[in-house]
């Protein structure tokens, strides 16, 4: 246990799980989209749906999508800033199977047309877990440098990525592989001990069979 887990995050709002965690989910969704969000449908489940609006979870999620952090003093006025930015959003109550009670599903569209669906949960103390990306289950906290590679489920992709990391002296801390079906679409989620050079990320993006590459190195700030 570290000091952050004992003391909790610096935040604006009454609850670390309903506000700080919610901001981080929104901000992580923005980073995963890799574009400025222009529209989002936010589905809240469990405790988020039951008490989230009273705790400011709705404002916190939108704040994160706008790029704000948990200690941003603008969070109480998030909806006004969203309107000024032309960001359209709506909320709905949803049902999820075997999900954490503080869970949300965000369907978001970026300014360049990219669309993404993220299911995530707030674990308490400002910590979050990304549970699902589009239609593929994942488990990713993104607290370490994290490489997320979407690719076709074909031989060779894992070898290409791990060889690239080895050549850059980047050690793999955790690695998980997911796919929606055999021969379909797959996702690699790799947490590393060292940052990954930007030129290596660009190289991965141009490999045949690689659909999308997302690299997140938040340095503990998310």
pLDDT at residue 153 in the model: 96
Query: Please, what sign has the CA dihedral across residues 20, 5, 2, 191?
Result: negative
pLDDT at residue 1 in the model: 44
pLDDT at residue 5 in the model: 42
Task: Tell me the pLDDT tens digit for each residue of 34-87.
Answer: 899 999 999 999 999 998 888 899 999 999 999 999 999 999 999 999 999 999
Q: What are phi and psi of 144, to 5 degrees?
A: -110, 165
pLDDT at residue 137 in the model: 85
The CATH 3.30.70.260 portion of the chain extends over 146-216
Given a contact cutoff of 8 angstroms between Cβ atoms, the answer to whether 192 and 169 are in contact is no
pLDDT at residue 16 in the model: 62
pLDDT at residue 129 in the model: 94
pLDDT at residue 17 in the model: 67
Query: In the chain, which stretches have pLDDT less than 70?
Result: 1-17, 218-222
Domain 3-134 coded CATH 3.30.1330.90: yes
Given this structure, which CATH class describes domain 146-216? alpha beta
pLDDT at residue 95 in the model: 95
Residue 39 burial (10 A CB sphere; 0-12, 13-18, 19+): middle
């Amino acid at each position: 246990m570290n000091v952050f887990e004992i003391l909790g995050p610096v935040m604006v709002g009454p609850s670390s799980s309903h506000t700080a965690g919610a901001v981080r989910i929104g901000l992580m969704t923005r980073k995963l989209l890799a574009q400025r969000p222009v529209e989002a449908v936010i589905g809240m489940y469990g405790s988020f749906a039951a008490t989230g609006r009273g705790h400011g979870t709705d404002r916190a999620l939108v704040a994160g999508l706008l790029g704000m952090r948990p200690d941003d003093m603008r969070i109480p006025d998030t909806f006004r800033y969203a309107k000024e930015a032309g960001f359209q959003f709506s909320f709905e109550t949803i049902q999820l199977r075997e999900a954490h009670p503080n869970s949300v599903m965000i369907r978001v569209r970026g300014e360049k047309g990219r669309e993404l669906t993220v299911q995530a949960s707030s674990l308490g103390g400002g910590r979050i877990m990304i549970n699902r990306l589009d239609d593929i289950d994942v488990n990713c906290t993104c607290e370490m440098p994290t490489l997320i590679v979407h690719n076709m489920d074909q031989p060779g992709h894992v070898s290409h990525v791990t060889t690239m990391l080895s050549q850059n002296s980047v050690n793999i801390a955790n690695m998980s592989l997911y796919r929606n079906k055999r021969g379909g679409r797959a996702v690699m989620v790799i947490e590393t001990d060292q940052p990954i050079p930007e030129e290596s990320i660009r190289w991965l993006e141009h490999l045949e069979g690689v659909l999308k590459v997302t690299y997140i190195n938040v340095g503990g700030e998310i």
